[in-house]
Chains A and B, each alone.
Chain A
Amino acid sequence: MSSLTVDELDMKPFKGLNMFFPSYSFSLIVAPSNSGKTILMKILSGLIFTESKVRVNRTYIENIKSEELNKKVQVLLDISSFIFQKETVSLELSSLLDELGYDKTRQNKLMKEIISTFSLQDIIKKDPNQLNYYLKLKVLLARIFLINPEIVLLDDITKDLLKEERKEIIKILKQYNNTGTTIIMSSSNFEDAIFLPNSRIYVLYHGDLLLSGSLQDIAKEDSLISKVGLKLPFMADLSVKLMYYGLLDHIELDKEKLVDILWK
């Protein structure tokens, strides 16, 4: 599986940006609006050309042939403007499997798996262009994971989702991450970090990498996070503030444990 490296990226809005996403990792890039999340995703995927700045493993991205890059790295950008070409979800997925050259037996197996993983049973015969954002997202993710890429880049995909929907989508992404896909997700909502307790988080602001680390590490910089227009997840925010009052000595994300600590 593959890692992704950014070396001294000097392209507006970034100045000397360095980032490393190891193989098998699930990283979260959190940033307020207009901080360069989408541009970064386009750079990481090769959609915006750079020279000697982005590497997939040891190879610079501009040196990877587009067909090979397409198989290795998949990116999901603006979902709301995406137009599906086929009349049903089923046709959309099966036509992709045809393009990938799978035989019918393998196609049936993969279709069954993907429908089950993404719970697409109820919408399989529906027009994907008529689906709401959440269901459209599921179909788009299903397409991506049928390709079985090594790296998946997701740009602010949870922004229009409700809490339970975000939780479900991230749970599915974690399943793929566990089987070896490197996932890099950008978000303007810090709450997504709650569903990724073991992930490395990067906080971007107007092109600058402000913070990186686990949620527990980053949460300690709550005033900086607030200054840039972000809001920590509730339990992280509560823990940090309780630490200021001397009532807690670490970030506790579990509600029941925190209550037990406060009222021994």
Chain B
Amino acid sequence: MEIKFSRVFGLGLTNASFTIPSGTICGLSGEGSRAACDIITSFLPQKGSVFLGDTKKLVKDKKKLEKQVVFIKKRFENEFGIDQIYSYFCYYIKYYQIKVNHIHEKIRGAMKIVGLDEKLLDKSFSSLSCSELKLVQLALHFLLNPNIIILEEPFLSFDEKEKKKVLLLLERLTDKLNKTVIILSDDSEVLLQTTSYLVLFSNGHVVVEGNTLDVYFNNEKLEESKIELPEIVSFIKLVKERKNVKLMPRKDIKDMIKDIYRITT
């Protein structure tokens, strides 16, 4: 589901216009990115237009649009004070009035989507590792079958293996199920590695939007706005400035090294 902002003012945003393509993993970063996410998920008043797909976001469509978007916070918050995971899932389904034929099958299905063993359902949240907890958090929100999934700093405190696990899941959601995934993060390394589309904000304004590699490699506006660049991007730019050698834009260090080898030997 595509998301379109058109001249939006409010919550700290100033004249924000951008379009997040459907079925992508899009990064939102900078001062104003959180406000943009709040506007997508809420029905707070603002000037300008926000479209979710073809539907303009209006208060009268609240019921229809509410379940289309989920916001997954940085840290899991136990809304209901239930520690056992299976019981929590059951209560969640009841609370959000999610229509199910067979509740157990629904819960098993959600766990399967995120690649977790259903045996974890018998455990308590406090016994889970960071990545297990994040995946359970995702599984819960997937019960709502949203079209837009916003994740706040989803990879914090993960090691590389765990990051890959979560990223593979997000890629499956976009590639196979055409969900739109938004990663809200100020970590440029994470954004470079995990997103295909970026919208960067500064002081409530949209500085630049576009394909992630293009945004980081081909945009002078970033330097003016003092937006932090990923290390590999800084290095490639430094090589150009210092030695006038143009390396290809790369995400992966191994690819860059092959380029360096070809040029220097």
Contacting residue for A229 out of B159, B232, B245, CB 8 A: B159
* Residue contact A234 to B157, C-beta cutoff 8 Å: no
* Residue contact B187 to A163, C-beta cutoff 8 Å: yes
- Known contacts A163-B228, A241-B253; decide if A259 and B160 are in contact (CB<8 Å): no
| Chain B residue with Cβ nearest A258 | B235
Interface 9-residue window, one of B41-49, B93-101, B254-262: B254-262
* Residue contact B242 to A259, C-beta cutoff 8 Å: yes
In the docked arrangement, what's the CA distance between A230 and B238, Å?
A: 26
User: How many whole Å from B70's CB to the nearest CB in chain A?
Assistant: 22
Q: Is A160 an interface residue (CB 8 A)?
A: yes
- Known contacts A256-B242, A259-B239; decide if A241 and B187 are in contact (CB<8 Å): no
1/0 per residue, CB under 8 A from A, across B223-241: the answer is 0000010011011001100
User: How many whole Å from B186's CB to the nearest CB in chain A?
Assistant: 6
Chain B residues within an 8 Å CB radius of A260: 242
Chain B residues within an 8 Å CB radius of A162: 186-187
* Residue contact B253 to A237, C-beta cutoff 8 Å: yes
Q: Is B60 an interface residue (CB 8 A)?
A: no
Contacting residue for A80 out of B75, B159, B254, CB 8 A: B75
Q: Is A226 an interface residue (CB 8 A)?
A: yes
User: What residues of chain A have their CB less than 8 Å away from a CB belonging to chain B?
Assistant: 32-34, 80, 156, 159-160, 162-164, 188, 226, 229-231, 234-235, 237-238, 241-242, 245, 247, 255-256, 259-260, 262-263
User: What residues of chain B have their CB less than 8 Å away from a CB belonging to chain A?
Assistant: 74-75, 129-131, 153, 156-162, 186-187, 228, 231-232, 234-235, 238-239, 242-243, 245, 253-254, 257, 260-261, 264-265
Residue pairs across A and B with Cβ atoms less than 8 A apart, 17 shown, are A33-B157, A156-B157, A162-B186, A229-B159, A235-B231, A242-B260, A245-B257, A245-B261, A247-B260, A247-B265, A255-B234, A256-B238, A256-B242, A259-B235, A259-B242, A259-B243, A263-B239
